[in-house]
Copies of this chain bind each other. A is one copy, B any other.
């Protein structure tokens, strides 16, 4: 029988990621079409190009009179130019008439301008006398006119594959007539807690018990990162029961995620069950926090056995799962905004380990600073709410010096330093 008492070798992040890539996860990732107004926060599955020019025709950006600049070139207060009003063009006019020399058409903001017109004179620089207007100054060619395609050109990319769709994208998509957009459907993840010490939040606490919080943190982490989790409860510390629960979930979900039971004690039934089932497994990660995690393939499907501690579990997802999943979605950037910040104190990392570091980022005088939070273990909860950012220290570094620059992801709201 294999020994589970020691994680003998720590595996690199890329070894763990190769397990994800060897699984059939890529076949679980499907596109779906949603209404453009329902697409906020979803991830674009394709580039979207504008099917039309904006504006679609030359149009007025003022209320006034469309005219020829050459007719107005001699206009002045003392000697205004008179133009005959040939008509009025409403903003919903489908047809722009021809403007003859010496004439003007009344236009509103958004009206198409007549053929031959090249300026729109603002109403406040005119005086109307029946069917004639007087204009009191000249205007340069193009004044008051928005030219077809000036804002957006047909074929221009307005949404990139991998973009998280914002209200700003939606305004533009709808403006060019797009009512449905193709996004990545969230993959479906079964989520189990394991650990004989666990009780569910809401139950009264009693000595020896620990709330099953990691599943909640993982659940909400997934929801906001294009994974649809379903929480299936706490499994008992029994290898057979865990094996059968994993098999059952694997038949129904795209991936299966467990929390806890991945250390090396006799009671770590999860990892024993997983070793029994797995076709391929990486257990023990060169990652701080997150050393005890495991990534495995069972019947072609991915099983992620996360640490029992919330901070370590999230670290495993951030460092290992997330970059691979984003790549499969065509999204290179992290989910959070990234800025480059100056370290306010040294961070010493475990040599040969990737470190996921929570930090406090603040701004002052156009500079951004970040302070790594000191932790004494992976269960340090308070850093989760005191931190507003995180950064990743690659394995080849032994630390980052005070004053060095580091790219931080904003997980919360920076304040003034």
Q: A63-B265, A265-B63, A340-B364 are in contact. Are A384 and B211 (CB under 8 A)?
A: no
Contact residues, A193-209 vs B (CB, 8 A): 196-197, 200-209
Q: A171-B310, A384-B172 are in contact. Are A207 and B363 (CB under 8 A)?
A: no
Q: Mark A27-66, 1 if CB is under 8 A from B, else 0.
A: 0000000001101110000000000101111000101000
> A379 in the interface, Cβ–Cβ < 8 Å?
yes
Contact residues, A397-417 vs B (CB, 8 A): 405, 410-414, 416
Contact residues, A295-345 vs B (CB, 8 A): 310-311, 314, 333, 337-342
Expressed in whole angstroms, the minimum distance between the Cβ of A396 and any Cβ of chain B is 21
Question: Chain B residues with Cβ under 8 A from A411's Cβ?
Answer: 166, 168
Contact residues, A268-307 vs B (CB, 8 A): none
Number of A positions contacting B (CB below 8 A): 106
Q: Is B151 within 8 A of A231, CB to CB?
A: no
Question: Chain B residues with Cβ under 8 A from A342's Cβ?
Answer: 366
Q: Is A413 within 8 A of B337, CB to CB?
A: yes
Q: Is B172 within 8 A of A381, CB to CB?
A: yes
Report copies per complex: 2
Q: A41-B224, A414-B337 are in contact. Are A207 and B175 (CB under 8 A)?
A: no
Report the nearest B residue to A96, measured CB to CB: B207
Question: Chain B residues with Cβ under 8 A from A209's Cβ?
Answer: 92, 94
Question: Of B36, B168, B175, B414, which one neighbours A339 at CB under 8 angstroms?
Answer: B414
Most buried by B among A110, A167, A170: A167
> A1 in the interface, Cβ–Cβ < 8 Å?
no
> A221 in the interface, Cβ–Cβ < 8 Å?
yes
> A146 in the interface, Cβ–Cβ < 8 Å?
yes
Q: Is A363 within 8 A of B387, CB to CB?
A: no
Expressed in whole angstroms, the minimum distance between the Cβ of A230 and any Cβ of chain B is 11
Question: Of B56, B167, B217, B412, which one neighbours A220 at CB under 8 angstroms?
Answer: B167
Flag the segment in A71-79, A176-184, A241-249 that touches B. A176-184
Question: Of B196, B365, B381, which one neighbours A54 at CB under 8 angstroms?
Answer: B381
Question: Chain B residues with Cβ under 8 A from A231's Cβ?
Answer: 37
Q: Is B384 within 8 A of A168, CB to CB?
A: yes
Q: Is B208 within 8 A of A93, CB to CB?
A: yes
> A173 in the interface, Cβ–Cβ < 8 Å?
yes
Report the nearest B residue to A217, measured CB to CB: B171
Q: Is B263 within 8 A of A166, CB to CB?
A: no
> A232 in the interface, Cβ–Cβ < 8 Å?
no
Question: Chain B residues with Cβ under 8 A from A205's Cβ?
Answer: 52, 56, 177
State in angstroms the CA–CA spacing of A338 and B412 once bound together: 10
Q: Can you identify 10 A-B contacts, CB atoms within 8 angstroms?
A: A41-B224, A90-B267, A151-B381, A168-B387, A170-B216, A171-B310, A171-B311, A175-B381, A337-B412, A365-B405
Contact residues of A with B, CB < 8 Å? 36-37, 39-41, 52, 54-57, 61, 63, 90-95, 108-110, 112, 146, 151-152, 156, 158-159, 166-180, 196-197, 200-217, 219-221, 223-224, 231, 263-265, 267, 310-311, 314, 333, 337-342, 363-369, 376-377, 379-382, 384-385, 387, 405, 410-414, 416
